[in-house]
Structures are given as C-alpha cells and as structure tokens.
Amino acid sequence: MRFTSLSAAATLAAIATAQTFTDCNPLEKTCPSEPGLPSASYSADFTQGEGAASSWTAATGTNLQYGADGAVFTIAGEGQAPTIASDFNIFFGRFEVTMKAASGTGIVSSIVMESADLDEIDWEFVGGQSGEVQSNFYGKGNTTTYDRAVYHPVADAQNIWHTYGIDWTSERIEFSIDGTVIRTVPYSSAQTVNGQNYPQTPMQLKLGSWAGGASQDEGTVEWAGGKTDFAQGPFTMLVKSVNVMNYNPACQYTYSDNTGSWQSIDVVKSGDSCNAEGAASSAPATQSAVGTATATAQTTVTSAPTVSQSVAPIENTIPTLRTTVTGSSYSVNTASLSVLNSGIPTAATSTAPSSQQTGSATTTRASASTSADTEQSTGAASVNTISAGISLLGLIFATLLV
C-alpha cells in the first residue's frame, strides 16, 4: 500500500470535498486513461496482513493496522479520516465488502465507488445508528436531485460482520446485504432523470471513515449524529475482505468524448505488457465487453496493477430532506425533479463502432440495453427513509472564508 503526498492544506480541503474531488474531470477536458483490472475477479483478505493492501493507496495521515479482524481504520482525534482507494477501476461489476462499521457519535463509515467524472455509488454508516445503513448514488457530481438516499435496517452493523454488495451494470444498480438484494435502481427512472444522473463510468473503490467535529458545518454534524467527543475514542471501522467481480476486464479505460456516457468508454484490452481476457462468469451477457462475452474468466487474483495517485479522505454530502414512507417497498417522490434538473443537458449517445484499434492496444465498447423502470426496495423494514443531499464544497469554502 502506498501513501499520497498531499500537503496539509490540500488534505484539509480534500477532507471536505472528497466526493466532489477528481484529479482530472473528463467531462471538461481530455484526461489520461483510467487504470483497469485485467482479471475477471479480485479479492483482498485483510486478515492476512498488510500485503493484502498492495493494490491500494492510502490518503495522507492514514495508518491502518492489521489483525485477525482485518484492516483497522482508527479515528483518535479531530481531523482524522483514514481512507484507502483501489489502484484500479472497473467498468460495471460487483463489489462486496465484509466489514463492521465504527461506533461513536458523529463517526461515519463509508464504502464509496467513484469515477473520474464524479459518478458515485455509496454505502454510509452513522456511528450513532448501529441498526441502519444508507445507500446512495450520484451522477456526474450532481447533488441537486431529491430522493436518492435510502436508509435500510441492518442487524447491529457495528458488532456483527455483514457483507455489503453493489452489483452495477448499465441497466441497474443492486444494493445487497449478506447476499440479499434490498434495493434496485434502474438506469431509466425519475431518480436518475432518465439516465442522465445514473452512474455509468469506470469506478474505483474507496473505504474509510470520518468524524463530525468543530471544523464541520452544522448540517453535516447534525446528519452524522452530533459532534464527536474524541475522549470517548478511539473509534474503529473493521474491514475483513473485499471481493470484486469484473464484468469488463481491461488494462485501462479511455473516455472517447466528454459526454460521460457508458457508450463513450473504450475498453482497452492490451498494451504495455498487459493482456485482459475473460469476464466474471455471472456477468450478464450484455455487460461483457464486445467480442469477449464467451471468454473463460481468469482465476481470481489477490493483487492488481498499482498506480501513483492522489487519494482524498472520504467525507459525505449532507442530507437535507427526509421523507418517511411506510411499507416494505417505497415509491419515489418526483414532484421537484423536473424543476431541479431542467437545466441538465441530455447526455449524447456515442456512435463510434464497438471495436477500435488504438496503436498497439485493442479496444472495445461494452454493449447493453436499457429500459425505464421503477426503483424497488425490499426487505422486512416497516419504514424506509429517503433523503436528498447538497455538496459540502460551498459550505466548507464559506467556513474557511469567515
């Protein structure tokens, strides 16, 4: 595991804007290709020690410990936000993280999938609420849309091991706990504004925790459960393992234009001593890269390509609207969607051929079909809570300028 070299000032800013942070946004300019995962699957067993983190980069100030319970993310004082990020991205696939969330008022544990153009899929755990977990998503960093975050019941997330899954394709996102799907977000829905706000570009995985303290905005602190009393610490999040199923193995992924659509992503299968073959055996046929749908999946690897990258500590956006719905499923409130998103341009559809040659590298495009649907949430819960979020970016700048 490597560490980034962000300055103290840069780290402070990154703590406040982690989910709106990117080294280069391909929606705005031409950016370097994103490193891929050449194998069909990947696993990291953190109970085996630091070697399991060889394909991860740690944010400045992160000092993980390893033991029988896996990787230990510790917050012992103000401003700490231990965070690691995978050195690879995947372009549709399944992430599973087996973990215990941290306890403590104001402490938030996070599983975050994020792309260079700020697509994002999250699990969030608030330390004062061991019996629930929040699922959430964003498209292109847009935090104006209502009704994205949902709270789900879970049995003692702080003391019982659970496996939290995200199965992500161009057609839908499935959130699962211990193998049971509890929420499905279709590509075309009111929440995604018919796909415009649907996460659909190559993502890396980030794991970490952060605290609501004196430096946080009041709204953030309130959402996190209140200000953290560090005298009650340290506060620890435990991650036992990470498993990845890769639906489009690649050496790298390239944005062919500035639309941020999944159709615009080139899947580079070879080059620079890299050769990506196969796809995860359970991947939907329409999600496997063109020309490789029938290839045999590679053996699961425990290491992946390593890269030099800057990792910002994780921090959450602020929920500002809570709508409580009764029943084991919920419907989406769309009253404000058209107004909030009337200025969002429709994403362009790529017309490039599905197979291209770029130098000596082989590139393909993933293919899939999409259909409009209604988001579903299942489980034994009698109450689901839906919330909306606003970015911390403006709030932290306002705080720094006071």
Catalytic (active site) residue 132: no
Cβ-based burial of 113 (10 A; exposed 0-12, middle 13-18, buried ≥19): buried
Q: Is 375 among the catalytic positions?
A: no
List, in order, residues 6 or more apart from 400 with CB less than 8 Å away: none
d(CA 57, CA 205) in angstroms, rounded, equals 11
Contacts of 294 (CB under 8 A, 6+ apart): none
- Write down the catalytic residue from 120, 171, 315, 375: 120
Q: Alpha-carbon distance 255 to 167, whole Å?
A: 22
In the block, which residue shows the tokens 């489980």?
A: 379
Beta-carbon neighbour count of residue 339 at 10 Å?
9
User: Which uninterrupted H or E stretch holds 395?
Assistant: helix 393-401
Please, which residues have CB within 8 angstroms of residue 136's CB and are 6 or more apart in sequence?
120, 121, 122, 124, 148, 149, 150, 389
Query: Looking up tokens 């061991």, which residue turns up?
Result: 130
Rg (CA), the chain: 20
Choose the catalytic residue: 34, 96, 114, 124: 124
Query: Which are the catalytic amino acids?
Result: 120, 124
